[in-house]
Amino acid sequence: MASLSSLNSICIDPACFIKYQDDVKISKPKKLCVRASVASSAPQSVQFEDFKARKFEKFRIGVLGASGYTGSEIIRLLANHPNFRITLMTADRKAGQSIGSVFPHLVKQDLPDMVAVKDADFSNVDAVFCCLPHGTTQEIIKGLPSSLKIVDLSADFRLQDIGEYEEWYGQPHKAQELQKEAVYGLTEISRDEIQGARLIANPGCYPTSIQLPLIPLIKANLIEVKNIIIDSKSGVSGAGRGAKEANLYTEIAEGIHSYGVTRHRHVPEIEQGLSEAAKSKVTVSFTPHLMPMSRGMQSTIYVEMAPGASTEDLYQHLSNFYEKEEFVVLLKKNEIPHTRHVRGSNYCLMSVFPDRIPGRAIIISVIDNLVKGASGQALQNLNLMMGIPENTGLLSVPLFP
């Protein structure tokens, strides 16, 4: 029998089980139920016994900042998770309210009422999703019990250089020791480090859509690290749920809204990941835009190919790199990724095209900014941290139309 690290068709979804001994029903392999990627060097028998034990184990989950969009997405995804149950939810401004009163689409979920962070009891919690705004997270996480596994969806622990954090976020970092411990959680790139981590800095939405196609190509020396131009577009939910004049319907509808030109806070995060892949400083030209849609994200990336490389080389390398991945999909040649085809899902669709300018290529990458760009990737990471298949609770197909 193969080890868990080599199994390519594991999922713990009621519609798709693989036979383990005689306790569950056999189903034929399907494309959506693949690649759990639980890598381990432990003996096969130990891995199998550990998996059987954890299959029915319930971990107690806290959601800090449950009244925001990423918090509500965590709750939605966990509704179908067999191993996680929510025992704590915080929302300072909504303390004392039920989740159904804040998000009517979650009214049928049997969950505890939300409480203020200062009143939260973590004695009944094994792991935490921190969905709070940047700048507020550091001190809160610093005060949490050291036994907790934490996935932080804010930007507070993404930048390794705390000086750079202060420059881009306008305030000093208040948990410098924790910053040294944090692991950047781009799942498909840093899976091994994520498995052994206690604190994960969940990537931002734009950096996820950009780094997934670019990091493998940079590591393979197939593209130049100069003159990378990135044009990204996001649904308005990426700006959060807070009431802001710039996000009013009449300000956003029927138009494209460019913002953060040359100074968007995701720039240092993008450049940090690409520089690490290149082993040299990488500077990109990045311009984001808000689109009049609630969710979805597309990054169109213009790159200069390395001498002798072709778009076919780029395509084949991405195909090989992501061939065994569950959630990153390289489309067939000439197929264009569209945001509507990933809505509500944890998938990233991408493709590569030749530019009309010789020696250049165009890469298009699409994700749902609230799922693969936030809460879905956070759940994927916590699955890894807790030792269960990383696709658990994430196999919902995209919502279309």
Annotated catalytic residues are 205
pLDDT exceeds 90 at position 383: yes
pLDDT > 70: what percent of the chain?
85
List C-alpha distances in Å: 92 to 67, 68, 131, 132, 352.
9, 11, 12, 10, 45
Q: How do the domains of the chain map onto residue ranges? A: 1-56, 205-368
Asked if 251 and 195 touch (Cβ cutoff 8 Å), the reply is no
* pLDDT over 60 (residue 30): no
Report DSSP state, residue 49.
H
**What value does the mean pLDDT take over residues 43-66?**
71
Alpha helix locations (H) across 56-186?
69-78, 99-102, 137-142, 162-169, 176-181
Pairing of strands 328-330, 297-304: unpaired
Whether pLDDT at 23 is above 80 = no
Work out whether the CA dihedral 98, 103, 108, 111 comes out positive or negative: negative
Residue 9, pLDDT above cutoff 50: no
- DSSP reduced 3-state for 301: strand
Which DSSP symbol is given to 160?
S
- The answer, yes or no, to whether the previous bond of 82 is cis (omega within 30 of 0) is no
Tokens found for residue 151: 């996935």
Confidence tier at 52 by pLDDT (50, 70, 90):
low
pLDDT digits (tens, 9 = 90+) for 148-162: 999 999 999 999 999
- Mean pLDDT across the stretch 248-263? 88
Distance from C-alpha of 375 to C-alpha of 203, rounded to nearest angstrom: 10
Cα torsion 51, 55, 61, 63: sign? positive
Contacting residues for 66 by C-beta, under 8 A, at least 6 apart: 72, 74, 75, 89, 90, 91, 94, 99, 102, 114, 131
299 class by beta-carbon count within 10 Å (0-12 exposed, 13-18 middle, 19+ buried):
buried
Average pLDDT of the segment spanning 33-54:
48
| Res 64: pLDDT | 98
As a whole number of angstroms, the longest Cα–Cα distance in the chain is 63
Confidence of residue 56 (pLDDT cuts 50, 70, 90): low
Q: What is the pTM of this model?
A: 0.85
Q: Quick check: 124 and 87 in contact, CB under 8 A?
A: yes
pLDDT mean across residues, the chain: 88
How many percent of the chain have pLDDT more than 90? 79
Residues in the chain: 401
Is residue 296 a contact partner of residue 241, using CB atoms and an 8 Å limit? no
Q: Are strands 348-354 and 360-367 parallel, antiparallel or unpaired?
A: antiparallel
Residue pair 70/375 in contact by the 8 Å Cβ criterion = yes
User: What is the CATH code for 205-368?
Assistant: 3.30.360.10
DSSP per-residue letters across 322-367: TTT-SSEEEPPTTPPP-GGGTTTSS-EEEEEEE-SSTTEEEEEEEE
